[in-house]
């Protein structure tokens, strides 16, 4: 239960910090943080909570990461579903808090997207379903590769949260224009359910592609890593 609580809180902070920066601060008049700031915010949420609660649960904060770590032999099957449920609930709670904050401003409109992920006409850059799927699979695969490598027993101790957080920031710098960057089904669900409509109808991709990418990343790491990892 403590590990699930840590996953709930970690995912809550990731969604509130990452999606919150996109909704509240990305285009703030004259002082907006833009794409670079939003990317950094997502990375910082992972760094801060990985150091805060990673020693309790492993610091996944992402169903795709949990699936990838299970496939990589780092997470028992019995913990997989409880972790995923905790992550989704934590994300939804953060989405609710973000909605309460954002809706306090005159002119707030959920139909503007609320930091939801999308493809085709709902892609920030108008990218197709195929492009969005490839992007999410590849980005999540490398995310898992970095997570597994940086948390290996042979990796320098204490630096994994930095490597993981920086990699998530880099992933956002690359892929925000394509899908608004998911690589995390809980993050996608956390805002899509509040938007409804197109965000929910496209949500399937942001579960399927990150999980597929996580499994590919786990497989790639197992192919190159030694048994000591």
Q: What is the pLDDT of residues 4-54, one digit of tens each?
A: 999 999 999 999 999 999 998 877 666 678 888 999 999 999 999 999 999
Cα–Cα distance for residue pair 171/179, rounded to 1 Å: 11
88-121 b/e (C-beta count within 10 Å ≥ 16 → b): bbbbbbbbeebbeebeeeeeeebeebbbbbbbee
Whether pLDDT at 160 is above 70: yes
Residue 134: CB partners within 8 Å, gap ≥ 6? Answer: none
Comparison of pLDDT for 184 and 33, the residue scoring more: 184
Q: In Å, how far are 2, 73, 78, 125 from 14, measured between CA atoms?
A: 18, 25, 24, 24
| pTM of the model as a whole | 0.93
The whole-number pLDDT of residue 125 equals 94
Residues of the chain with pLDDT > 90, as a percent, come to 83
Cα–Cα distance for residue pair 133/141, rounded to 1 Å: 12
Q: Cα 194 to the chain's mean position, in Å? A: 17
Average pLDDT score over residue span 63-71? 96
Residue 187 structure tokens: 């993050």
Asked whether 154 and 163 are in contact (CB, 8 A), the reply is no
The whole-number pLDDT of residue 41 equals 95
Domains, the chain, in order of start with CATH, read 2-106+114-224 (1.20.1080.10)
Asked whether 58 and 69 are in contact (CB, 8 A), the reply is yes
């Amino acid at each position: 239960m403590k590990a699930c609580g840590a996953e709930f809180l970690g995912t809550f902070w990731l969604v509130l910090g990452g999606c919150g920066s996109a909704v509240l601060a990305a285009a703030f008049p004259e002082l907006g943080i833009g794409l670079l700031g939003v990317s950094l915010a997502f990375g910082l949420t992972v760094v801060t909570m990985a150091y805060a609660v990673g020693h309790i649960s492993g610091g996944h904060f992402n169903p795709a990461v949990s699936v990838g770590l299970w496939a990589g032999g780092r997470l028992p099957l019995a913990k997989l579903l409880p972790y995923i449920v905790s992550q989704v609930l934590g994300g939804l709670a953060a989405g609710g808090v973000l909605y309460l904050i954002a809706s306090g401003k005159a002119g707030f409109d959920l139909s503007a997207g609320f930091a939801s992920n999308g493809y085709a006409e709902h892609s920030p850059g108008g990218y197709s379903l195929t492009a969005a799927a490839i992007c999410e699979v590849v980005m999540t695969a490398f995310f898992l590769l970095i997570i597994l490598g940086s948390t290996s027993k042979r990796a320098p101790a204490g630096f994994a949260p930095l490597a993981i957080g920086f990699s998530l920031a880099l992933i956002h710098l690359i892929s925000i224009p394509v899908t608004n960057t998911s690589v995390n089904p809980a993050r996608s669900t956390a805002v899509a359910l509040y938007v409804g409509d197109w965000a929910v109808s496209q949500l399937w991709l942001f579960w399927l592609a990150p999980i597929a990418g996580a499994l590919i990343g786990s497989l790639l790491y197992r192919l190159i890593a030694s048994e000591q990892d």
